[in-house]
Chains A and B, each alone.
Chain A
Amino acid sequence: MPERDTAELVDLARNGDQDAWRALVDRYAGLVWTVARSVRLEPADAADVSQTTWLILAENLGALRDSARLAAWLATTARREALRVAAVRGRETPPRWWTPSPTGAERDPGPGPEDHAVAADRAGALWRAFVGLPERCQQILRYLAFAPELTYPQIARAIGMPVGSLGPTRTRCLAELRRKVLAAGVLEEAAG
């Protein structure tokens, strides 16, 4: 299927077009997953939140008021459900919050071919810079990384912060990330 815009895919999916639905999933599965994980849910709970979010969407496609804003709708819906699950699970069993390792060591790709070493260093340095950011920064950049089309009001609503502070915070977070990766001496081209 050629690249279609989100609103067009939603319209097709409303009429049962499974290819269009699959294209929406391909486009936004990562966003829904990262929203659930950003609330620090265990993978099994994040999987339930993801599936629930897509089921809600599937049943409400006809009622979606602005299909072009699907990314915001998904982020808001997934975060609400993730927070509810986090609250309930916190009462049922002590949570083991998922926290990225400061070094990322437990999920590093491990020794690889020599020509992958530089890329691994770059990724490792960026990861360490990212997890060194304040949590609010991580959250904002994580949402934007998966859906740059999200507007300030959409992100503010999704993560529950005042819209007025979103822009300056985003700018500060990006600058801080860039400063950290430059300090590490890698990622020059991405860091500008």
Chain B
Amino acid sequence: MRQRWHDTDLALLAEVAGLFEARDPAPAQVVADATAALPLVAGQSDVDRFTLCADSAGDPDQAVEPGRDGSCPPDADSPADADAGCGGGLLLRGTRPTARILGFTLADVVRLDVWLGPAVRGRRAVLGLVGPVRPASAVVVRWPRGRLRAPVDEVGRFRLSGVPVGPVSFLLHQPGATAAATDWFVS
């Protein structure tokens, strides 16, 4: 279903695009960061991919944009919502976050939950839980200009501090298994 255009429509839209490019252009640093994205992730394609299955920020596909009618997007704080599609959350059940909780699953076998604490001077503490537990596992959080690694303890917990606000991705390293990464998201 491709729309039909009149030349006058396209000309008008081109003027609208020109307006935004003049009044609210993508800043040079934004373009530079986008350009740097490919080399930044080079060589990291041979990892398994976690699937996001719960996010206390809500489901954007069901969201009402905030500010439009004074309402907020759906809240996944309640246990029923938070566990949807995750096969039973480890960290989410019965909690109410002050910032954000995300749940990821790998082939419905491995589960990774992360709790992002409130931002303090642009940094967050992160608590997490991995299951099932394998000895000597570790979680790495990466961001465009750095990364931190934390060991996973005997019950699957890990803790990271000083994680910057902005794009992050988590990787789980388990002995004898391919590393698994979450998609990038804004922390």
Binding site for B on A (CB under 8 A): 13, 16, 18, 21-22, 25-26, 29-30, 32-34, 37, 39-40, 43, 45-52, 54-60, 62, 79-81, 83-88, 90-92, 95, 97, 100, 104, 107, 109, 123, 126-127, 130, 135, 141-142, 144-146, 148, 151-153, 160, 163, 167, 170, 174, 177-178, 181, 187, 189-192
Q: A-B pairs with the 6 shortest C-beta distances? A: A192-B8, A33-B26, A145-B17, A83-B60, A54-B37, A84-B57
Q: How many A-B residue pairs have CB under 8 A?
A: 199
Residues of A within 8 A of B22 (CB): 109, 123
Contact with A along B159-179 (1 / 0, CB 8 A): 000000111010000000000
Q: Is B107 an interface residue (CB 8 A)?
A: no
Report whether B17 and A56 are in contact in the complex, using a CB–CB cutoff of 8 Å.
Answer: no
The reply to whether B34 and A51 form a contact with Cβ atoms under 8 Å apart is yes
User: With A50-B26, A51-B37 known to touch, is A148 a contact of B57 (CB < 8 Å)?
Assistant: no
Residues of chain A within 8 A of B45, CB atoms compared: 59, 62
Shortest beta-carbon distance from A72 to chain B in Å: 12
What's the least CB distance linking A16 to chain B, in Å? 7
Query: B156 on the interface (CB 8 Å rule)?
Result: no
Whether a CB of chain A sits under 8 angstroms from the CB of B87 is no
A63 to B96, CA, bound (A): 35
Q: Are B38 and A21 in contact (CB under 8 A)?
A: yes
Give the distance in Å from the alpha carbon of A160 to the alpha carbon of B74 in the complex: 14
B185–A30 touching, CB < 8 Å: no
B79 within 8 A of A: no
> Is B57's CB under 8 angstroms from A87's CB?
yes
Partner of B65, one of A39, A62, A107: A39
Greatest chain A CB density within 10 A among B2, B61, B72, B184 is at B184
A13: chain B residues at CB < 8 Å are 38
